Structure 1
Amino acid sequence: MVTLGIDIGSTTSKCVMLRGGTDIVATSLVPGGIGTNSPDRAMAEVLAKSGLSAGDISYTVVTGYGRSNYKGADMQVSELSCHAFGGRFVFPKLRTIIDIGGQDVKVVSLSEAGKMTNFIMNDKCAAGTGRFLDVMAGILQIKLGDIETLAAMADKPSSISSTCTVFAESEVISQLAHGSTVPNVVAGICESVASRTASMVKRIGVTEQVCMSGGVAQNGGVRRALEKTLGVPIAYSPLSQLFGALGAAIYAYNKLQHEK
């Protein structure tokens, strides 16, 4: 039995194809999310990688920002539930998920059995999100992939105290004008994201094991800053950005098993 999970985010579209509820057959991640043709391109890519056709898929679940606009799935499921399923698949003892995406931040608490018990979300402001990091990287004229390396080179992280992207941009320019090095400014940006996120996590409580999901999970500079701020290790997997799609594929499998 093959199931498919599609996660349509604000900036990327992801697919995970699962066989038997346990074996990942193929994955895809395509830039561009809601309002673009990226979900279709992600679907085409995962089919090409797997060597299967759409007719081979038993059930498809879509999640994420753009789930309501996607017509090619059998069911829509909240991204909170899907990230919980995907996270527990990779980290069986997971209790806290910190999902930092392109436009929002979510924190989800799970019971020992993996049931969602609480969550908090910030979707009103881009500060602390992937978009925030995109803007900061643009100001510094660096690649997003360089943030982790540059942050590790810092000897005195700059203070970026503003929680507003626009004001933080001014702070970064001011820090550079006053002689701060790029590595120190980058480290300050990572600490700013970590501080804002940690305040959300602490509002619902930190229970280990803790992991990050979403695109920003790949940023080691932010992960390390968050570990320092929260005082707990942050689990990471190369699949972290795919947790939503993975969880959707698992949800699809469980639904079919339940119907049987």
Structure 2
Amino acid sequence: MNIILKSLLVIATFVFCHYIMKSFWGSEWTKILTQADASTDVLFIPAKYLFLYTPLLVLTTLLFKRRNMLDAIGLNTAGFNNYTFAALLCCIPMTLGYAYLSNNLNLSLSGLITGSIYAGFFEELIFRAALFGALYRFCRWGFIPAALISSVVFGVGHMYQGGDAVSALMAVAVTTVAGTWFAWLYCECGYKIWFPMWMHIFMNAAYGIFSMSGGAVGDLHGNLYKATAIVLSIVYVEALIRRGKKREVTMSSLFINTSAATLNTPIKPQMTAAV
């Protein structure tokens, strides 16, 4: 199967999962799960994510047939603790800034689970490891086209955060850029979701706990604090590279990924020094 057919297969499978699988999700399941978790969505959200996107996850593991299944979908646990600690350090200044700006606290456990933990885990697993990962690592797309196609879909999914047409488009633009940044973190952290996942979770958690306003777009002061987390994440990746980690996204891989190291070869352990 050539690269074009493989790319079409990945995209067609994603479209099938994202748009068509919904028609197979019966309303009875929604009713049962909603009643079971008292309308908190703690059971409903993971069940629906797994139902909708399992075909894409299965395809990704089959494409990377020479790899361990966990490697194929970014769940290799090597470096998990270091990535967790690094993400926590990166998000502390933003969290303190949000605490300073906020007058309200939202300490809902179910809200933290559904809005932060589930969002961070499933969105990084599906959009970065499965969709972006298959296009960039297996189909040899360059970083820019592979990141854009996954990030635009990711961004469109946040359109609801805009109150009107302009703010909705701004929400899409901001989350598209965020998706591209997460894709870069995923690449540079050994094709594992842990660092972008924890950044995603901690940033969402800080936003929700301190009831920040402005949706995905945010406001000026909130965005300044958010920028500290982004900058520190870049500093962390650059520190890993200075300590000997291979740079994964280079000028030569922006539009066509010609690196043989990313295709069906065993993953070598990556250095995972904390910030």
TM-score range relative to shorter protein: under 0.3
* Richer in strand (by share): 1
The structure with higher relative contact order (CA 8 Å, sep 6+) is: 2
Taking structure 1 as the reference length, the TM-score comes to 0.25
* Richer in helix (by share): 2
